[in-house]
Amino acid sequence: MVHRAVCPGSFDPITMGHVDIFRRAAQQFDEMVVLVTGNPNKPSGLFSISERVELAEKAVADLPNVTVDWWGGLLVDYTTKHDIGVIVKGLRSALDYEYEVPMAQMNRSLSGVDTMFFMTNPKYGHVSSTLCKEVIKYGGDIHDVLPPDVEEAIQKKLSG
Ligand code: PNS
């Protein structure tokens, strides 16, 4: 039996905090999908869905059992369709916990899929896509918590 997991998120854009979770979680499963969620026909956020996928693909290129996909519907429909047994999420703090618990319980009640949580590496405990965009907007240097290419991609977007 193949043990598959999915790591869903908006990833607008991906950070090293995400990549650290993917790297650690990927060791526990045969295959893992990083799933960019959102509707390509209703753009929201800084990057389009395809741009987010492209940045994520570059960031996980060295992880052989990790692929990147996108999905515009219910997460549980994706997990059922692809025979994925586990949703993986990262937890930075109690705030994340409060946000994640109802989603984990809703997903489990909808389809039986379980959610596993990985504690964020303390090195990235303060990192979020939103804060990274804000810091770069005002000229801060944050390249050490972003995968290569992402800082430049944010700068280009914000200036263009
Ligand atoms: O990175 P985010 O925005 O915290 O991720 C939240 C996400 C994308 C995982 C959540 O909104 C989600 O699962 N969206 C897909 C639609 C869905 O299934 N919604 C019901 C969740 S209980």
Distance of CA 29 to the CA centre of its chain: 17
Is 50 known to be catalytic? Answer: no
Nearest CA to ligand 1 atom 17: 74
pLDDT of residue 108: 98
The one-letter amino acid code at 77 reads D
C-alpha distances (whole Å) from 95 to each of 92, 100, 141 are 8, 9, 26
Q: Is 70 helix (H, G, I), strand (E, B) or coil?
A: strand
Instruction: List, in order of start, the domains of the chain with CATH numbers.
Output: 4-159 (3.40.50.620)
Q: Which atom of ligand 1 is nearest to the CA of 107?
A: 22
Please report, for residues 7, 25, 100, 101, 103, the alpha-carbon distance to residue 106 in angstroms, rounded to integers and kept in the order given: 16, 22, 10, 9, 5
Report pLDDT digits (tens) over 88-136: 999 999 999 999 999 999 999 999 999 999 999 999 999 999 999 999 9
Active site residue 18: yes
Contacts for 29 with CB less than 8 Å, ≥ 6 apart: 3, 4, 5, 65, 86
26 C-alpha to center of ligand 1: Å? Answer: 20
Percent share of the chain, pLDDT over 90: 93
- Average pLDDT of the chain, as a whole number: 96
| 110 Cβ below 6 A of ligand 1 | no
Residues linked to residue 32 through DSSP beta bridges, in sequence order? 5, 66
For the CA of 71, the closest atom of ligand 1 is 15
- Structure confidence at residue 3 as a pLDDT band (50, 70, 90): very high
Give, using CA atoms, the residue closest to atom 10 of ligand 1.
Answer: 9
pLDDT grade for 1, boundaries at 50, 70 and 90: confident
Nearest alpha carbon to residue 89 among 13, 32, 151, 31:
32
Tell me, what's the pLDDT at 51?
97
Active site residue 42: yes
In short, whether 79's Cβ falls inside 6 Å of ligand 1 is no
Ligand 1 binding pocket includes 135 (Cβ within 6 Å): no
Ligand 1 atom nearest residue 104's Cα: 22
On whether the CB atoms of residues 55 and 153 are closer than 8 A, the answer is yes
Please, which pLDDT band fits residue 83 given cuts at 50, 70 and 90? very high
Residue 160, pLDDT > 80, answer: no
